[in-house]
A and B are shown apart, each in its own frame.
Chain A
């Protein structure tokens, strides 16, 4: 059995990635980057799931992470399709400028 890495590092790593994801989602102007941030947040959660599932003999965490990956793939493909259409239509990718629903 390989030596156990201190779980705190994982938690902090995943926390960092999650926060980076949030930061990107909130700060970045481009919708592509927002999607990337969302991916980062999902994968930070995956990291936790994968790490903590080694203590679970049923490997539920790993299974969930596979679901999350699938979900993320589906979500990204839909989101990219929408974005592509938006870009085709409005020539913009900044979500702040999509205001045609306002008023």
Chain B
């Protein structure tokens, strides 16, 4: 226990420290920082291995407001995950960013981001959580806007940040309500007290989590976030930032009311379906993956809503590996396309095709991770998704609400289709450009191989079709009493396999190299039918944001007009009348009060002059006065005595 007390602050601070060290060293920044993160990963492994009882650390900040961290098995495991993915991303970036002059800034930002995320995961008090929640938002803003010199990218970063802020405002409101209503202010106390929050507080937290996890209606920011470097997308979308919302919901779900959980389930299902539809028609290799991330996060959220949060955490875990693998593979493809021809858009799938032969390692990594995403048996994604589908099916049976499971199953089929489409379009077909630069370097190969390998089933469960066989299940949920009714149902199992295979089959039929659609794809433009448009524009969510922004700017300009025309006029009137009154008072003061005073002064001056005139230096006048006085005295004695 004492060892853990020593290593947890180290784990907490190492990302920041290695970011600073790396950021100060211009040439070797990423390598230096990777060493630091590797050491942190080692410590995190020790933490996961040794942790038994939750560590709770708290100290007072303000009256009745504490700073607090707690480390239990769940967040220890997630911290390990963050370290692992961050390290892989850094190693990958050594090659990916080698020509970038701002490597040091990149390293520092990565370190800061990992630090904020680990702080968020370790937080126990809601105030601390909110603090790191905001830090994560800010550091992701810094990373998305890494190439801030390009106006479009910095604009995208700003938009992503602002959308997050809207949701964060609700989270803050929720935290404030928790304080005002006198609920326990930390996760551990909330869990221990067993008190349920009122519905509105729950909704505030849910909106906050939906914002960070890019759920409807906030998912627009995640596609904006693609403006950042691709390894950053792997980091943000796979393991870290977007899972913060899922993590928060897992933590607070015991305190939520039933209808709140229903909102979560329906929101997650709707998002999963919408994003899967939006991923169908994208041209941008990263946008497909971004929508797929939104869709998979929808699954996790849905899982929490239906009570299958173990499966959600499991999905979070497996998704982190295969989605990081997909993004890094996509990064490798983009890197290659960029080196090949910098004038073309390196992310547009219309320019790709046939990369299978040129980038074999990338291809196999993408294939395995993509099939894991689609949910084929013997891969990790199947296991965790199966758990969520089973949970949603059972929930549908018990509540009679079959919308959620139906959407979840539709999404399973769509997922297989869009990822199959992407694999076929990027890696198959004929090569339309000259070959160059055969294989990516070892720093690119190692993370890809590692992530692809961890997407196989045996890292997670011995039984390739039992979602409850997850090795970490006993470790994480032993004290919560792992529920036994979530073993796979045969119908769900068969249904999901059939849907996945049919999705892949349709994708193969439509986009196999010989097919019409696959050949026409390279010259295709944006879809024109309504359904295609809705999908391509991601349900017009960004247009929707624009409308809201326009509405708000109208309100703001209206308020500005009112301010200028009415309030300013009024204020000006008050000011002018003040000046007028002051002038009148000034005139009165100058002419009446001062006049009186001056009058008195001049009287005394007159008297003074009169009296001093006796004291003349002219001797004859003095004599005259003398005589006059004598005369007066004489007359006085003569007539008045």
Contacts and interface: CB of A to CB of B under 8 A. Distances in A.
A95 B627 contact: no
Contacts of B618: 95-96
A64 B286 CA distance: 142
Tell which of B619, B620, B621, B624 has the most Cβ of chain A within 10 Å: B620
A6 interface: no
Contacts of A95: 618-620
B138 to A, nearest CB: 83
A96 B621 CA distance: 10
B620 A25 contact: yes
B620 A27 contact: yes
Chain B residues touching A, majority SS: helix
A96 B620 contact: yes
A22 B627 contact: yes
A1 to B, nearest CB: 34
A26 interface: yes
Contacts of A34: 620
**Majority-rule SS of A interface residues:** helix
A102 B623 contact: no
B617 A26 contact: no
Contacts of B627: 22, 26
Interface in B608-622: 617-621
Contacts of A102: 617
Interface in A80-103: 95-96, 99, 102
Interface in B591-641: 617-621, 623-624, 627
A25 B618 CA distance: 12
Contact of A99 (B617, B620, B623): B617
A22 B623 CA distance: 9
Interface centre among B617, B621, B624, B627 (most CB of A within 10 A): B617
Nearest to B618: A96
B457 to A, nearest CB: 120
A102 B627 CA distance: 23
Contacts of B624: 26
A96 B620 CA distance: 8
Interface string A59-96: 00000000000000000000000000000000000011
Contacts of B623: 25-26
Nearest to B621: A26
Contacts of A96: 617-620
A27 to B, nearest CB: 7
Nearest to A99: B617
Nearest to A27: B620
B534 to A, nearest CB: 107
A22 B617 CA distance: 19
Nearest to A96: B618
Contacts of B620: 25-27, 34, 95-96
A102 B616 CA distance: 10
A14 B617 CA distance: 30
B627 to A, nearest CB: 6
Contacts of A27: 620
Nearest to B616: A96
Nearest to A101: B617
Nearest to B620: A26
A84 B627 CA distance: 27
B622 to A, nearest CB: 10
A22 B621 CA distance: 11
Contacts of A99: 617
A96 B619 CA distance: 7
A102 B621 CA distance: 15
Interface in A1-60: 22, 25-27, 34
Contacts of B621: 26
B638 to A, nearest CB: 16
Contacts of A22: 627
Nearest to B624: A26
A102 B624 CA distance: 19
A98 to B, nearest CB: 8
A57 B158 CA distance: 135
A13 B621 CA distance: 25
A92 to B, nearest CB: 13
A25 B620 CA distance: 7
Nearest to A103: B617
A34 B624 CA distance: 13
Given A25-B623, A34-B620, 17 more contacts: A22-B627, A25-B620, A26-B620, A26-B621, A26-B623, A26-B624, A26-B627, A27-B620, A95-B618, A95-B619, A95-B620, A96-B617, A96-B618, A96-B619, A96-B620, A99-B617, A102-B617
Interface of A: 22, 25-27, 34, 95-96, 99, 102
19 contacts: A22-B627, A25-B620, A25-B623, A26-B620, A26-B621, A26-B623, A26-B624, A26-B627, A27-B620, A34-B620, A95-B618, A95-B619, A95-B620, A96-B617, A96-B618, A96-B619, A96-B620, A99-B617, A102-B617
**Which 7 pairs between the two chains have the least Cβ-Cβ distance?**
A96-B618, A95-B619, A26-B620, A26-B624, A102-B617, A99-B617, A25-B623
